[in-house]
Amino acid sequence: MVDSIPILYKKQPLTPTAMGTDDNPKRRISKFASDLSSSWSAKNDSSSMSGFTNRWHVLSFPTHFGKKRKTAHVKKPNIGQSYSTGAGAYYNSDLSQDLSKVKGFDICLSERKRSAAVPPLQTRKYFGSPPTILRSGMVHLKQTLNHEAQVEIVRSCRTLGVGPGGFYQPVFKDGAKNDLQMMCLGLNWNPERLTYEFIRSVDGCGVPPIPRHLENMADSKLLFAQELTKTGPYSAAYEDILPSSCLNACIVSFYSAATGRLGLHQDCSERRECLSKGLPVVSFYVGDSAEFLYGHERDVSKAKKVILQSGDGLIFAGKSRHIYHGVSSVIPNSAPELLVEETRLRPGCLNLTFKEA
């Protein structure tokens, strides 16, 4: 590399002035090398050794040249916390889980087990269903993802889910378990501390980044929903209904067809600014259909219900940002046959929820 050439060579270019007046190139180079060698052959007294040391210091490479540098480990903080209380600075001792027991979960069946799955009902078509505004700030994007996009989602989540920082089922001291497998991308959501962190407290794993194609998918569907609200009955204040957002966290959940469910809750672990502005929550569903509940109160009997099929999207923001919501059940054998055939997705519902944390 040019920047690695010693300074002395840069200051003495190969010119007749520096190398003598001999026109023969070979003799000029030989004379230049001889002069340089003689300058290093000084007598072994203190003054000449000092000059030799100074010149060698100029010509020598940096002390770290050719050696591997040790990368400094900087512990990143929790969102809203200082570096002195960073996410990597503590282990979540409230979790009774043994680190050695945290293993990835494969959302797809192997070839050997594939025949054990119950055949899906039928293959559905993915275009032509208009979006529905369920309420102010809440949009149901029916079958917004085509078959290719769903296959891409399943394959990406499967690859990430079996690796470090992949799917796991949190176990708490009281023995309670979530009826789902969970994985976080971008930032990790700690279900017990209700905070976001850069390092998973449960096992010390780094959080995988959100794949670019999934980021683009979420951003494009949010823009589509914003365009929809511009022409709807809420067009006068669409920016307040579905404000723009920088989606930097994704919670991936897999609800099994047998027991998968999630009780009514609010998404309120994000930064205060995100909550006060009503920044959107963008979700997608792939696989078996899910029975989704939502309402003003944490009361199942008063909650409204919508069926979210494979390829559907759901966005809630603005006045709907703080609604209670959950998944009451997964409808067995409702996944598209072609999707199951191509991906070997287990019976259940795969959900991706994007937020700005």
Say which residues have a Cβ less than 8 Å from residue 130's Cβ, sequence separation at least 6.
142
Tokens 């930097």 correspond to 248
Separation of alpha carbons 104 and 118, rounded Å = 24
Separation of alpha carbons 249 and 271, rounded Å = 12
Annotated ligand binding at 322? The verdict is no
Query: What are the tokens at 41?
Result: 């052959």
- With CA atoms as reference, report the closest residue to 329 among 317, 345, 347, 342: 347
Contact 114, 296 (CB under 8 A): no
Contact 126, 145 (CB under 8 A): yes
C-alpha torsion angle, residues 95, 97, 103, 108 (rounded to 10):
-70
Annotated ligand binding at 265? The verdict is yes
Separation of alpha carbons 353 and 315, rounded Å = 9
Return the axis-axis angle of helices 147-161 and 212-231, rounded to nearest 10°: 140
- Phi first, then psi, for residue 181 (nearest 5°) are -105, 140
C-alpha torsion sign, points 154, 157, 161, 163: positive
Contact 58, 6 (CB under 8 A): yes
Concatenated DSSP letters of 71-114? PP--PPBPTT--GGGBGGG---TTB---GGG-----SB--TTTG
Question: What value does the CA radius of gyration of the chain take, rounded to a whole number of Å?
Answer: 31
- With CA atoms as reference, report the closest residue to 106 among 151, 152, 167: 167
Separation of alpha carbons 96 and 112, rounded Å = 34
3-state secondary structure at position 44: coil
Q: Which residues are paired to 348 by β-bridges?
A: 256
Q: Which positions make up the binding site?
A: 265, 267, 325
Q: Which positions make up the binding site for Fe cation?
A: 265, 267, 325
